[in-house]
Chain A
Amino acid sequence: MPLVLTEEQEMLRDAARGFLDAKAPVSALRKLRDTNDPDGFSRDLWKEMAEMGWAGILVDEEFGGADFGFVGAGVLAEEMGRTLTASPFLSTSVLAATALKKLGSDAQRQQSLPKIAAGEMLYALAVDEGAKHAPAKTAMAAEKHGNGFRLSGDKTFIADGHVADKIIVAARSAGAPGEEQGLTLFLVDAKSNGVSVERTQMVDSRNAARIRFDGVEATGDDVLGEVDGGYAALEGVLGAGRAGLAAEMSGAAQTAFKMTVDYLKERKQFGTEIGRFQALQHRAAHLYSEIELAKSATLKALQELDESYDMAGVVCSLAKAKAGAAAKLASQEAVQMHGGIGMTDEYDIGFYMKRIRVAQEMFGDPAFHADRIARLRGY
Chain B
Amino acid sequence: MSDLETFRKETRAWLEENCPKEMRDAGAGGEDAICWGGKRWTFQSEAQKIWLQRMAAKGWTVPAWPKEYGGGGLSRDEVKILKAEMRRLRARSPLESFGIWMLGPALLKYGTHEQKAHFLPPIARGEIRWCQGYSEPNAGSDLASLQCKCEDKGDHWLINGQKIWTSYADESDWIFVLVRTDPSATKHTGISFILVDMGQEGVSTKPIKLISGKSPFCETFFDDATAPKEHAPGVSAIVGELNKGWDVAKYLLTHEREMIGAGGSGSLFAARSPGEIAAQKSGLGDDGRLEDTLLRGKIAEADVDGWAFMLTMERMKDEAKTGQGVGANSSMLKYYGTELNKRRFELMMDAGGSDELEWEGERTRDGKLARGWLRTKANSIEGGTSEVQLNIIAKRILELPGS
Contact = CB atoms under 8 A, between A and B. Distances in A.
Contacts of A285: 332, 335, 389-391, 393-394, 397-398
A53 interface: no
B401 A321 contact: no
A289 B312 CA distance: 10
A3 B397 contact: no
B157 to A, nearest CB: 38
B279 A379 contact: yes
Given A4-B319, A295-B315, A379-B278, A276 B398 contact: no
Contact of A375 (B289, B311, B398): B289
Interface stretch (B107-115, B162-170, B195-203, B293-301): B293-301
A322 interface: yes
Contacts of A373: 300, 303-304, 307
A273 interface: yes
Contacts of A375: 289
B10 interface: no
B308 A374 contact: no
Contacts of B309: 293
Pick the most buried of B279, B315, B336, B402: most chain A CB atoms within 10 A of its CB.
Answer: B315
Given A2-B322, A318-B307, A296 B300 contact: no
A367 B305 contact: no
A281 B318 contact: no
A294 interface: yes
B290 interface: yes
Interface string B367-403: 0000000000000000000010111011101111111
A2 B336 contact: no
A275 B336 contact: no
Interface string A308-336: 00000000001001100100000000000
A321 B321 CA distance: 28
A275 B395 CA distance: 10
B324 interface: yes
A296 B390 contact: no
Given A281-B394, A285-B390, A289-B393, A374 B307 contact: no
B403 A278 contact: yes
Interface string A179-205: 000000000000000000000000000
A379 B332 contact: no
Given A4-B318, A296-B315, A370-B300, A261 B275 contact: no
Contacts of B329: 292
Interface in A105-129: none
A179 to B, nearest CB: 14
B322 A377 contact: no
A374 B275 contact: yes
Binding site of A, secondary structure by majority: helix, strand, loop or mixed?
helix
Contact of A296 (B289, B301, B311, B395): B311
B350 interface: no
Interface in A349-379: 366-367, 369-371, 373-375, 377-379
Contacts of B290: 374, 379
B332 A292 contact: yes
B304 A3 contact: no
Nearest to B277: A379
Interface in A1-34: 2-4
Contact of B304 (A288, A292, A318): A318
Interface in A239-271: 261, 264-265
B241 interface: no
B31 interface: no
B339 to A, nearest CB: 9
A282 interface: yes
A3 B315 contact: yes
Contact of A2 (B276, B318, B393): B318
Contacts of B299: 374, 379
B394 A4 contact: no
A294 B315 CA distance: 12
Contacts of B366: none
A296 B394 contact: no
Interface string B313-347: 01100110110100001001001100000000000
B275 A379 contact: yes
Given A285-B393, A289-B335, A377 B303 contact: yes
Given A4-B322, A282-B387, A375-B289, A288 B312 contact: no
A373 B306 CA distance: 12
Contact of A275 (B275, B312, B322, B400): B400
Contact of B401 (A275, A322, A370): A275
A299 interface: yes
A377 B314 CA distance: 22
B400 A264 contact: yes
Contacts of A377: 273, 275, 303
Contacts of B400: 261, 264-265, 273, 275-276, 281, 284
A4 B324 contact: yes
Nearest to B305: A293
A296 B314 contact: yes
A264 B309 CA distance: 27
B398 A261 contact: yes
Given A285-B398, A375-B289, A296 B303 contact: no
Given A264-B400, A265-B400, A370-B297, A322 B332 contact: no
Contacts of A284: 394, 398, 400
A232 B284 CA distance: 26
A59 interface: no
A120 to B, nearest CB: 38
16 contacts: A4-B315, A275-B400, A278-B394, A285-B332, A285-B389, A285-B393, A285-B398, A288-B332, A289-B332, A293-B308, A366-B301, A367-B297, A369-B304, A370-B297, A379-B279, A379-B289
9 smallest A-B Cβ distances: which pairs? A281-B394, A285-B393, A3-B315, A374-B300, A370-B300, A296-B311, A2-B318, A293-B308, A379-B275
Given A281-B398, A370-B303, A379-B276, 13 more contacts: A3-B315, A261-B400, A265-B399, A273-B400, A282-B390, A285-B394, A292-B329, A293-B308, A295-B312, A322-B305, A373-B303, A374-B290, A375-B289
Interface of A: 2-4, 261, 264-265, 272-273, 275-276, 278, 281-282, 284-286, 288-289, 292-297, 299-300, 318, 321-322, 325, 366-367, 369-371, 373-375, 377-379
